[in-house]
Amino acid sequence: MRMDRACLCLVLICRLAVHAGSSVAEDAVTFDLPAIVPAQEVVLSEVSLPMHRGKLVRLSLPVSTALAAGFTGRVTEYVVEIEAPNRTMQVVDFWPRNELVTTVAGNVTVEKSVQNEQSVGVSLLSTQSPQVKNGVNGEVAGKESVLTRYEQKPPVHQLTSSGTIQRASGVFFKFRAGPVGLADGMRDVAMLVVVPQQWRADLLEVRMRAVGTRHRASHELQTIGEARAWVSVYREGDWEAAAAAEHFAQSERHLRSVATAQQKKIEQQALPTVFHRIGAALDVVRPRIPSDFIAQVLFGPPSQYLEGSLHRLPVEVRVAVLDFWDARSTMIELATSGRLPTQAQPVAIDRLPQRAAF
């Protein structure tokens, strides 16, 4: 009996050690993009588009990718998805479109040559035999040559593909490796969207992913970097809406910063006792705070998370969560009704921040 208990304890210790030592591989590719983007209003007469209810605005978003130091693998594809979850935007155009490239200039000339040869010969000569005195010698030969020459398109590689998602409330872009590979750096993407007449600001959810191999000798394609973030947009020239967008960006950065600083307290609250840690290692007990709680808070509906683990978070994190939700509600009101909530008082700003790293 004691031996069985000892074996069980040993198994639990080993499972805990494995659970504690396991970690997700670090991203080989990191992403960066602006936290705030102005929306430029477009006059309908300047574009060849049919009439739409609402107004046209143009959004330009630079997305940067950076490879980790010492990375020896290869990147085969970057994927960027941009969506307006409030469904207040309708995409009517986007850039870049599908892009093809080839290493051959012009068309390829192809030549095919076919030769047919025919030859018939008969020969009958006299011999030493006295019975054969006469000889016959004949030969017929023929040659036919056919040369076919034509031009064909050279082989091409698709560098970029793009299209709409979620019933044209968003757009996707895929950047693929061509003949010279796929380098890191900045890539500009843009959208032309229709928004309601009262629209002043909005939120864009941006999902980014890099696909490739982690090592030079590996051929297994996998996700080697990904990020998910909000981008707040506002109507250019509307400084009250710009202040609300700035407040939202600040509240998101503050929430991420506080959650990182309070990570140890969050882990202790998620598994407060040794029995919780053993149960989690055996996959029979769920942590009191989900490991992806920050993603649930940032991108999920508030009511869903309020019923769960919000009260178990440290006080500083709870305050940051509530402030973020208030800022998000303000942005939704500006997107749908064009009015600021009575309790919202955006801060005055002199200069908007340009970029935010993830």
Report pLDDT digits (tens) over 91-149.
999 999 877 555 555 565 656 666 665 555 555 454 455 554 555 555 555 566 666 66
Calpha distance 62→266 (Å, rounded)? 34
- Residue 260 included in any domain: no
Residues contacting residue 342 through CB under 8 Å, at least 6 positions apart: none
What's the number of CA atoms in the CB half-sphere (13 Å) around residue 82? Answer: 28
Q: Report the pLDDT value the prediction gives residue 112, as an integer from 0 to 100.
A: 65
- Residue 145 included in any domain: no
* Number of folded domains that form the chain: 1
Read off the pTM.
0.73
> pLDDT category, 303, cuts 50, 70, 90?
low
Structural domain boundaries enclosing 81: 25-101+157-238+353-357
Compute and round to an integer the Cα radius of gyration of the chain. Answer: 34
CATH of the domain at 164: 2.60.40.680
Q: Report the pLDDT value the prediction gives residue 124, as an integer from 0 to 100.
A: 46
Calpha distance 343→328 (Å, rounded)? 13
- Residue 324 included in any domain: no
Q: Report the pLDDT value the prediction gives residue 64, as an integer from 0 to 100.
A: 95
Calpha distance 338→201 (Å, rounded)? 8
- Residue 307 included in any domain: no
> pLDDT category, 219, cuts 50, 70, 90?
confident
Mean pLDDT, residues 336-346 taken together? 73
- In the 8-state DSSP scheme, what is residue 145? E
- Residue 328 included in any domain: no
> pLDDT category, 80, cuts 50, 70, 90?
very high
- Residue 126 included in any domain: no
- Residue 297 included in any domain: no
334 phi-psi bin (left φ>0, alpha ψ -120 to 50, beta other):
alpha
- Residue 189 included in any domain: yes
Is pLDDT at 61 greater than 90 in this prediction? yes
